[in-house]
Amino acid sequence: MASDLHHYPFNPKERHMPNKRFRSVALTAVVVLLLALGLAACGGGDDDNAEDATTTTTEAPEATTTTAEAFEPDDGGDDESAIEGDDQRAAIEDFMNSVQQDTGVEDTGEAYTYVSISDDTGQLTVDAPAEWSDVDGRVASLGTLTLPDVRASTDLEAYNNTFDVPGFQFTATSDSSTGDPRAVLNEYTVRFSQACNPEDVQSYSDPLYTGVSQVFGDCGSSGAAFVWTAVQPIDTSDGDYIAVVGVQILSDADIEALGHILDTFVVTPAG
């Protein structure tokens, strides 16, 4: 079972969750070269599809997937999914900019690569930094209830007990007694006020999810930041649930990781 330490929530747990598909739209770059000679012209182009090659694992993942430039607008294609993907990335970029202003973390010039990881039940999938290779996908427990949970860090023991290393955790529940993202957020963040300086709770929204987020600054002796986000799907035709993402931030690269995680997490029902 995952450790019940300073990053561990004590909200109601879930066994089975409805599905809500949340995937990024791959970016396509088209380069057209025009050559003019007299009154004749001709053109040619190449499509370069950069597709993630990911590995789902709860052990140390290999850094064989996408680079950290996760939110460049797509200038090509006008299909509905591409437009939705652009809107999704734009909304997350706005959120990342807000987090940057609240945390004031330094830009170290570091850039992560990403791999796909999942929890042990297979209900949660997300792209996380390959450098956060200490991964735990075991189910968390509270009383008789269980909660799908996946977390990763450079050092999970340090992540669970201190604010000295970057890392994240991702979980989801449909067993919340209120169905209110803010109430669930409060259950996760109440302990952080003792070790960090809390910012005000802010609304969060993108084309697929709506909810709330809260930034905690000056955490522990390292002065790290921690960002909690609790959201639920706008379209609940496949069912309703609340997803919670928490990211510990020590550098600008960790804010990029936050955006990438929010852009790629998927909740799938138990089989």
Instruction: Please report whether residue 7 resides in a domain.
Output: no
Instruction: Please report whether residue 22 resides in a domain.
Output: no
* Digit-coded pLDDT (tens) for 30-86: 233 333 333 344 444 444 443 443 444 444 444 433 434 444 434 444 555 555 567
The per-residue pLDDT for 51 is 42
Instruction: Please report whether residue 23 resides in a domain.
Output: no
Taken in order 54, 57, 58, 61, is the CA torsion positive or negative? negative
Q: Indicate whether 167 pLDDT > 90.
A: yes
* Count of structural domains, the chain: 1
* Segments forming the whole domain that contains residue 63: 28-267
Instruction: Please report whether residue 108 resides in a domain.
Output: yes
- Location of structure tokens 């979980």: 171
Instruction: Please report whether residue 1 resides in a domain.
Output: no
Instruction: Please report whether residue 246 resides in a domain.
Output: yes
Q: Give 199-204 contacts, CB < 8 A, sequence gap 24+.
A: 199/102, 202/98, 204/95, 204/229, 204/231
Which SS3 state, helix, strand or coil, does residue 13 take?
coil
Instruction: Please report whether residue 234 resides in a domain.
Output: yes
| Residue 222, φ and ψ in degrees, nearest 5 | -80, -15
Q: Could you count the other beta carbons within 10 Å of the beta carbon of residue 51?
A: 9
Instruction: Please report whether residue 57 resides in a domain.
Output: yes
Q: Which of 15-29, 116-130, 144-158, 226-240 has the lowest mean pLDDT?
A: 15-29
